[in-house]
Amino acid sequence: MDSVKCKGSESTLKDCGSKGWGKHSNSCGRHNYDAGVRCSKTINYARFTRLADGPHLCSGRLEVLYGNTWYTVCAAAFDQQDAEVVCRELDCGAPVQVLGAAAFGKGDAQTWTQKIQCREDEATIRLCPTSNDIKCSQDNNVGLICS
């Protein structure tokens, strides 16, 4: 496939404009200009919230960005109402399951130690009130599975 021109709204590469499969310039036919893609297991859906190391796009260890640092969220500081906000923020539907005990690994991020207290109507997790620091280790970060 040669001279691929995508607009960004296509759902697959075959929907992009091109000369067509098997139609290429002489130099491209010799595989001198093959393209490749490397994907990360960490899915960054929103600027300040992400799910990392999950088996599919809408699941993983919850991490939030504060300042210039990513933090894993402690399971003791997270409940169903918080999960509703995160799944909606990430455009991942409704929460299916909230998991603790580092279900998606410990990760490399520091641990967020404030209790999150969403009311379910917030647009993002960053808009949820927080309170008192809690004691938590990376062994108890929250994992989230959204539909």
In tens, the pLDDT along 55-75 reads 888 999 999 988 888 999 988
> Has this prediction a pTM greater than 0.85?
no
Split at pLDDT 50, 70, 90, the class of 39 is low
pLDDT of residue 41: 47
| Residue 109, pLDDT score | 85
What percent of the chain is helix, strand and coil (3-state, nearest 5)? 20, 30, 55
d(CA 121, CA 69): 26
**Mean pLDDT estimate for the chain:** 81
Q: What phi and psi, each to the nearest 5 degrees, are found at residue 95?
A: -70, 135
> What is the model's pLDDT at position 83?
95
**Residues of each domain in the chain carrying CATH 3.10.250.10:** 49-146
Distance, in Å, from the CA atom of 8 to the CA atom of 14, rounded to the nearest integer, reads: 12
Region 49-146: CATH code: 3.10.250.10
